[in-house]
A and B are shown apart, each in its own frame.
Chain A
Amino acid sequence: DIQMTQSPSTLSASIGDRVTITCRASQSISSWLAWYQQKPGKAPKLLMYKASSLQSGVPSRFSGSGSGTEFTLTISSLQPDDFATYYCQQYNTYPYTFGQGTKLEIK
């Protein structure tokens, strides 16, 4: 199975900060990577697919990059609604696998 490793596990930041979350795959997944945002008690929400494609309705302050084994999710200017847990997920190969999550907290 392809292992997905996110860093950091927890990130403390302030409103207006630029933050970056990294996701590494244990083998190449080309660009077949999605990012999800999850708030407590809610279902995950798709943010990005194919590494850098923004899902419809997602604010443009979110961006994704990378290919192969290393990927990033960047929030250009943190808003109060962005404090949540973020997961990466590869869909290159079955079984689909997720990173362990990055919890974005208010500093």
Chain B
Amino acid sequence: QVQLQESGPGLVKPSETLSLTCSVSGDSISNDNYYWGWIRQPPGKGLEWMGSIYYSGSTYYNSPLKSRLTISVDTSRNQFSLRLSSVTAADTAVFYCVRLTSNQEGRYYYYYMDVWGKGTTVTVSS
């Protein structure tokens, strides 16, 4: 049974870079059936998809974050990571890592989030 676990600092100063890692167990991150991604949820608010990555390193980012966001994968450690630069208080949120599984229609694949980590809270404050 695949499990995802987020790790990283719970407190980051404004203007600094937020870094989180998601460790995957129970499956290989190199399994070509899946993408891997990050979702965030500000306190008391809804869910925002941040971006996704394939084991090959191919990425998709949400446009408002694109200039500050980097998602990377380390297949040797079965992990993927998020870096968000120049953070402000508005970046305070619970961050979830997710596995995305595909539906196929013809030659196209559509990915939904079937496995979620428990989430980690990151506060941006001086």
Residues on the A chain within 8 Å of B14, using CB: none
B49 nearest in chain A by CB position: A96
What 0/1 readout, one digit per residue, does chain B (88-126) give for beta carbons within 8 Å of chain A? Answer: 000000001000000100000011111111110000000
Contact B111 A101 (CB under 8 A): no
Contact A95 B46 (CB under 8 A): no
Residues on the B chain within 8 Å of A45, using CB: 116
What 0/1 readout, one digit per residue, does chain A (15-30) give for beta carbons within 8 Å of chain B? Answer: 0000000000000000
Say whether B86 faces chain A, with CB atoms less than 8 Å apart: no
Say whether A72 faces chain B, with CB atoms less than 8 Å apart: no
Using C-beta atoms within 8 Å of the partner chain, give the interface range for chain B: 20 to 34
| Cα distance, A34 to B99, chains bound together (Å) | 14
Chain B contact residues: helix, strand, loop or mixed:
strand
Contact B46 A43 (CB under 8 A): no
Chain A contact residues: helix, strand, loop or mixed:
loop
B100 nearest in chain A by CB position: A91
B96 nearest in chain A by CB position: A43
B37 nearest in chain A by CB position: A96
Contact A50 B103 (CB under 8 A): yes
| Cα distance, A49 to B100, chains bound together (Å) | 11
Contact B114 A95 (CB under 8 A): no
| Cα distance, A16 to B110, chains bound together (Å) | 35
**Selected contact of A44 from candidates B47, B60, B63, B103, CB within 8 Å:** B47
Residues on the A chain within 8 Å of B112, using CB: 32, 34, 46, 49-50, 89, 91
Contact B63 A87 (CB under 8 A): no
Residues on the A chain within 8 Å of B96, using CB: 43-44
**Selected contact of B113 from candidates A34, A50, A100, CB within 8 Å:** A34
A-B contact pairs, 12 of them (CB 8 A): A34-B113, A42-B118, A44-B116, A45-B116, A46-B115, A50-B103, A55-B114, A87-B46, A87-B47, A91-B110, A99-B46, A101-B47
